[in-house]
Structure 1
Amino acid sequence: MFSLFQHYGVLASILAAGVSLAGVAAVWLARERVAAWSGLLAAFAAGLLLTSVLTHLLPGAFSVTAHAPLYALAGYGLLLLIAGMTSSLSGHGDGESWRNSGAALTAWLGISFHSFVDGGIYAITYEHGLETGLMTMGGLTAHKFIDAVILFSLMILYVTPRRALLWTIAGAVLMTPLGALVTTFWLDTHVLADRAAAFSPATLQPGHAHDHAGALGPLLAAAAGTLLYVSASHLVPHMMERKTRMALPLFSLGCAASLALASLLH
C-alpha cells in the first residue's frame, strides 16, 4: 500500500509530464521553424547537455556510489553499441534509413532514460518527506519543458514531424511518470516491506533518504553516460559536420544556459 508521500511523488511526476507536454505543444505549433533551425538547436542542445552531464549528473552520481564511473561507462557503451550496429546495417538495403533510425534511437534513448531517472528521484524524495520532495520538485520540473524542446529538435533531424512528435511524447512526457511508478512499486515492495507500522515522517532515521537515494545512484550514473554519448559523440560531430558559422556560438550559449539554470535552481 503506497504511503501518502509516495502518492505525492507520483503526482509530482505527472505534473512534470504536463510541463513536458507544454514543451511538446510549443515546438509542434512552431514545427516548421524548428525543422528549419534544427541544426542550430542541436548545437545549443549539445552545449546544454554536455555541461549538465559534466557539472551536475556525474558529480551527483559520484557522491552516491563509488562505482559511478563503471555505470556511466556502461550507459555510454550501450549507446555506442547501438550506434555501431545501426551503422553496420546501413551498408545493407536502405542505408540512409538505417542511419537515420539509429541516430534517432540513440538520441531518444539518452534523453528518455534521463526522464525515467527523474521520475525515480521524485518518488524517492517524496517518500522521504513533503518538504524534501517540494524542494527537489522545483529544480527537476523546471527543465522538463527544455527536455521536450530538445528531444523534438533532435528527432526532427532524422524522422518526419509526426513521428518526431510521437517519439517526444513517449520519451519526454511518459517516461517521467513511468519512472516514478516503477520506483514507487520497488520502494513499496523491497525497501518498505520491513516496516510494521504505517509510514510516518517521524519514523525516518537521519540516513534514510540517502539509503534510498543510493538505490538510484547506478541509474543516475548510467543516465549520465548515455547523455554524454548523445552530447559529445553524437551532437558535437553532427554540429561540426554542418560547418555552420553560428554552431560554436550556440554551443557556448548552451553551456552558459546550463550553468545559469543550475545556479538558479540550486
Structure 2
Amino acid sequence: MLASLAGGLLSVLAAASLAVAAGPRAVPRLLSYAVGALLGAAFLELLPHAVEASGDAELTCALILGGVLLFFLLEKLLLWRFGHGHAHHGHGDGGRSGMLVMLGDTFHNFVDGVLIATAFSQDLSLGLITAAAIIAHEIPQELGDFAVLIHSGLSRGRALVFNLFSSLAMGAGALLAHWALPAVDGAVPVLLALACASMLYVAAADLMPGLRQRTHLAATAEQVVLIGAGVVSIGVAHHLAEHVLM
C-alpha cells in the first residue's frame, strides 16, 4: 500500500512541478507533448501489456474498439449534461477531455496498483523495483494529463487535486489485489484495454483537432517535434522500466 501510494503521489507531484515551471504560456506546447505522451502510453505501454494479459490480440483490439465507442458516448452524455442549450465560450472544452483522460488514468493507476501488489507478493525486492519502474513511466504520462486538464479549463491547483485523487486508485488496486488477487487479475486485460481506449480517444478526438487550427509551417513543425518528444519520453521510460529497473 505504501509503495503504491508513494508511487502515485511522487509521479503526480513531479509532473505537476514540471508543468508549473513551464508557465501558462507553455500550455499550447504542453498539449502537443500531451498528444505524444498519450499516444505513446497507449501504443507502447498499455496495448502490449493488454495483449500479454489477455493472451488474445483479437479480443484486446475488440475491447479497445468498444472502449473508443464507449468514450464517444460518454462525451456525448457530458455534452448533453453540461452543455445542452449553452454555447461554450472561452478557454477549454468544458472539461470533457479532462474528465475522459482522468477516467482512463484511473483505470491505469488501478492496474499499476495490482501489479505492485503482485510483485510484492512474490518478493520484497521485486516489489520495490516494480514500484520504481512504475514511477519512471508514470511521470511523462502524468505531465501530459496535467496539460489536458489545464486545457479543459481547470486551474493548476484543481488539476493537481484531480491528478492526486486519480493516483489514489493505485493504492485501491494494491489493496484489492492483496485480498482478492485472482478476481482482480482476471479484470486486468479489460481495464488495460479501457485505459488504452481512453488515451487514444482523447488524443485523436479532443486534442488533435485543436492542434490543426495552427496551420503555419513553423507551428506545425514545432507540434511534430513536441508530439515526437512525448512519444519518445514514454518510450525511454518504458525502456528503463523493462531493461534497467527490472
TM-score (norm 2): 0.81
Q: Are positions 1:86 and 2:58 aligned together?
A: no
State which drifts further: 97-106 or 59-68. 97-106
Name the CA distance, whole Å, in 2 between partners of 1:221 and 1:127.
25
Percent identical: 26
Matched, 1:167 2:159: no
Alignment deviations for residues 169-208 of structure 1 (CA, whole Å, 9 cap, x no partner): 212x322212222332322xx66xxxxxxxxxxxxxxxxx
For residues 176 and 95 of structure 1, do their structure 2 counterparts lie closer, same or farther at Cα, with a shift above 3 Å needed? Answer: same
Retained in 2: the 8 A contact 1:57–1:220? Answer: yes
Give ranges in structure 1 of 5+ residues lacking alignment.
1-9, 192-211
State whether residues 44 and 251 of structure 1, in contact with CA within 8 Å, keep that contact through their aligned partners in structure 2: yes
Q: Choose the corresponding residue for 1:116, options 105, 110, 116.
A: 110
1:1-266 to 2 correspondence within 5 Å? 10-23=1-14, 26-27=17-18, 29-30=20-21, 33-65=22-54, 66=56, 67-88=59-80, 90-93=83-86, 95-96=88-89, 99-158=93-152, 159-171=154-166, 173-187=167-181, 213-243=185-215, 244-245=219-220, 246-266=222-242
Kindly state the Cα deviation for residue 27 of structure 1 after the two structures are TM-superposed. 4.5
Change over 3 Å in CA distance of 1:261–1:121 after alignment to 2: same
What CA distance in whole angstroms lies between the structure 2 residues aligned with 1:102 and 1:18? 24
1:208-238 CA deviation, whole Å, 9 max, x = no partner?
A: xxxx755422212221122221223222223
Query: Is this contact kept in 2: 1:87–1:99, CA < 8 A?
Result: no
Does the aligned pair in 2 maintain the 1:14–1:176 contact within 8 Å?
yes
Are 1:13 and 1:176, in contact at CA under 8 Å, matched by a contact in 2? yes
Give RMSD over aligned pairs: 2.6
Distance 1:233 1:96, change over 3 A: same
Q: How far has the Cα of 1:99 moved from its partner?
A: 4.0
Alpha-carbon deviations, 1:98-122, whole Å to 9, x = none? Answer: 9412232112222232222211221
How far 1:29 sits from its partner (Å)?
5.0
- How far apart in 1 are the matches of 2:16 and 2:96? 25
Contact 1:24 / 1:168 at 8 angstroms: preserved in 2?
A: no
Superposed CA offset, 1:231-258 (max 9, x none): 2322222322344342121111212222
Bigger Rg, structure 1 or 2: 1
Deviation at 1:24, TM superposition (A): 5.5
Deviation, structure 1 residue 42? 1.3
Name the CA shift for 1:48/1:108 in 2 (closer, same or farther; >3 Å).
Answer: same
SS in 2 for 1:95: coil
